[in-house]
Amino acid sequence: QERWLLQGLQRSQARWNVLAQQVMFSQYDFDARPNLQAFNVDQWDGYVAARTRLLEFLEQRQPSNPIVLTGDIHSSWVHDIKRDFNSPDSQTLGTEFVATSITSDFPTQFIEPVTLALSNNPHTKFFDGAFRGYVRCTLSRDRWQSDYRVVSTITEPEATIRTLASFVVEDGKPGAQRA
């Protein structure tokens, strides 16, 4: 699978190279204490060697505009994909957009610890665990926009929907910016 992915990226002529997959790709240290680290090994943090090989490939081969689309964690995230997630000055290689679920909750007891740990994760541009919804991605030649759409409730058919946050990636400029 890894060889298939790298060969596909190597041959790609696409303006936007999208990797759609199930678990969070970017590193995230869930422990807010500066001298300790805690990672979720049920995502790419549990497969550091494989992620490192992919990051090295992205750095060396530079496929156009790498975007990772992720789900499964029942919360919304935006990450700059860094060559070295432990170094804020490290090269940004791409962007990851993580979509929340439309119905399943993120455990409320995790929201505060994850929010507190944001300071240890400067590559993370956005996190929300309170709302349910989806990500709407709009692409053009020059720009990718991801709108985090959330519903007011999952229990009523008359629920309203709104945009909680929007981020853009400009062609040739890895990393997300608030729209």
On whether residue 120 sits in a domain, the answer given is yes
On whether residue 139 sits in a domain, the answer given is no
On whether residue 63 sits in a domain, the answer given is yes
The yes-or-no verdict on residue 140 having pLDDT over 90 is yes
Q: What is the number of domains present in the chain?
A: 1
pTM: 0.96
The yes-or-no verdict on residue 11 having pLDDT over 90 is yes
Structural domain range at position 87: 2-129
The yes-or-no verdict on residue 33 having pLDDT over 90 is no
For 173, residues 6+ apart whose C-beta sits below 8 A from its C-beta are none
Cα distance between residue 136 and residue 83, in whole Å: 27
On whether residue 94 sits in a domain, the answer given is yes
Cα distance between residue 57 and residue 111, in whole Å: 33
For 156, residues 6+ apart whose C-beta sits below 8 A from its C-beta are none
Share of the chain above pLDDT 90, in %: 94
